[in-house]
Amino acid sequence: MIYVLYSIVLVICVYTGRHYWFTLNRLFGFQRHPYIDIDTADWPPVTVLVAAHNEEKVIANILDALMTVKYPADKMLVIPVNDRSTDRTREIIDKFVEDFPGRIQSFHRIEGKGGKAAALKDAMELVTTEVILIFDADYIPGAGLIKQLVAPFFDLEVGGVMGRVVPLNAGTNLLTRLLDLERSGGYQVDQQARMNLRLVPQHGGTVAGVRLSALREIGGWNENSLTEDTDLTYRLLLNGWKTVYQNRSECYEEVPEVWPVRIKQIMRWAKGHNQAMVTYGLHLLLGKHRATLRERIDGTLLLGVYAMAPITLLGWALALGVFYEGVAPLHGVIALLSLTAYAALGNLAAFFEIAAAARLDGTRKRVCLLPFLILGFSVSIFSVSRAAFSQVSDLITGAEFHWDKTERFRKVL
């Protein structure tokens, strides 16, 4: 039992070190923003796909914003992918198509498999441009965002691009404020450090882009994936394409305002991520492909992020068990120290990352909320563990994954 615990502590220490490495790189290392200065170019035609499933509360905002971005109007086509909506989404989209002829093309999907990947896959029949950008319907792109997301595609090695997500409803309540901090840590530090260190920035599936030829080469959207973004990241990587992160390409989004919605969201992410881990993990680490050694290691660690929650829970249980079982004193002390070390360092590493992100963002007081992150952390660890267990039980019982859309909170226009 103690050796299992040692192994768990070792893995936790690796993740802790990773957090510190990323944070220190972000604070003191060389920052890579290679494509952000491309402001003049022969801009290529681009298709913007807006994934929409029952989005009457938000769809008009994003279509409005896209019609005012600074990108040659004759080179940008917006396709709202209306996936079997039962609310007013279709009506709103059709009104925009009417108001902006030639600039918005509707795609109303009335049947087929559920999920964003399946909807995007069907919408590909309308896409003819080499560069495709993807937004979820609750996002509000700024005037310069489209150019910024297109610019990296001038690099022939780039297959995918990811921008930064910023919560618009950050100040609503404790949950949104905690999610705001988490997003800061995740993007401002984690993603940018991976970009700096030439590791594996993750494609987020929204505020993002993909190269059509790369997408075709890897077999298109995987409709069986619960998180098509993670799936896309790894298939691009395994086929010699890079995903790049653009920290200065920021876009507002709406984060969940109630805990049940947040729990559902993180459980879906966990399931999708774990699904990708099972599918690509071993091949990424040991297989024959074009990823570099550092990409193999970082990519594997990234795949294991959501598996760490149940592993940590198991570690806690084992540590307590070992302690109360009264194993050899030395072992008992080591086990106790291990547990304490995790509590002191492991948690703090993530907190340190978020605090550094808050500083880099130039915020002042929101970092005071850091202690409350223990609440978000606790909810996450149990939700993600629950997702992992249900995934295993689904595997045994043969139950199918199903896709849960995240509820919106914006007032209907």
Partner 1 sequence: MNPYLAVAALVFMVSLMFMLPLVPALLELRRKSDALPLNVVQQHAGEIRHFANSFRTYIHGLEAILQHCVASGSTATGALPDGEEYVVLGRADEPLLLALEERDTIHPVLIAAGVDLVVPPEATFSRDIYAGGQFIGGEKNNYRAILGEKNVHLGVSSRVMRWVHAVGQFTADLGCKLYGRVSSDSLIRLHAECSFLRLNAPRVEIGHATGNSNPTPAEASNGPGTPSRFLHDGDFEVKAGEVFGSGMVIRGNLHIRSGARICGSVKSTQDLVLEDGVAVEGSLIGARRMFIGPNCTIHGPVVAERELSIAAGTRFGTLDHPTTVSAPRIEVEEGVVAFGTLWAREYGQVVASR
Residue from 12, 48, 93, 168 in contact with partner 1 (CB under 8 A): 168
Q: Which is nearest to 36 in space by CA: 197, 168, 163, 184? A: 163
Q: Which is nearer to partner 1, 51 or 145 (CB)?
A: 145
Is residue 220 within the footprint of partner 1 (CB under 8 A)? Answer: no
4 vs 143 by CB, closer to partner 1: 143
Among 365, 396, 400, 411, binds partner 1 (CB under 8 A): 365
Residues 315, 3 contacting (CB under 8 angstroms):
no
Residue type for position 299:
G
Contacting partner 1 within 67-96 (CB under 8 A): 70
Among 17, 72, 112, 171, binds partner 1 (CB under 8 A): 171
Q: Which range touches partner 1 (CB under 8 A), out of 81-89, 100-108, 333-341, 356-364?
A: 356-364
Residues facing 48 on adjacent strands: 78, 133
Residue 81: φ, ψ to 5°? -95, 90
Residue 143: closest CA among 65, 244, 91:
65
294 lies in the binding site for partner 1 (CB under 8 A): no
For partner 1, the binding residue among 290, 333, 340, 343 (CB under 8 A) is 290
Instruction: Tell me whether residue 17 or residue 171 sits nearer to partner 1 (CB atom).
Output: 171
Minimum gap (Å) between residue 11 Cβ and partner 1: 28
Residue 258: CA count within 13 A, CB half-sphere: 7
Q: Is 133 helix (H, G, I), strand (E, B) or coil?
A: strand
156 binds partner 1 (CB under 8 A): yes
Q: Using the rule CB under 8 A, is 151 a contact of partner 1?
A: yes
Sole binder of partner 1 in the list 17, 64, 98, 213 (CB under 8 A): 213
Q: With CB under 8 A as the contact rule, which of the stretches 35-43, 325-333, 337-345, 377-385 interacts with partner 1?
A: 35-43
> Using the rule CB under 8 A, is 29 a contact of partner 1?
no
Q: How far is the CB of 90 from partner 1 (least distance, A)?
A: 27
Site residues for partner 1, 181-200, by CB under 8 A, read 184
| Alpha-carbon span 356 to 233, nearest angstrom | 26
Say which amino acid occupies 204: G
Give CB contacts under 8 A, 24+ apart, made by 383-387.
383/263, 383/266, 383/267, 383/270, 384/266, 384/267, 384/270, 384/306, 384/309, 384/310, 385/309, 385/310, 385/313, 386/267, 387/266, 387/267, 387/268, 387/270, 387/271, 387/274, 387/306
CB 235 within 8 A of CB 221: no
Q: What token pair was written down for 27? A: 């604070």
Q: How far is the CB of 311 from partner 1 (least distance, A)?
A: 26
User: Which of residues 7 and 31 has its CB atom nearest to partner 1 in the complex?
Assistant: 31
* Site residues for partner 1 per CB under 8 A: 32, 34-35, 37-45, 65, 70, 130-131, 140, 142-144, 147, 150-151, 153-157, 166-171, 174, 177, 180, 184, 211-213, 240, 250-252, 290, 361, 363-366, 368-372
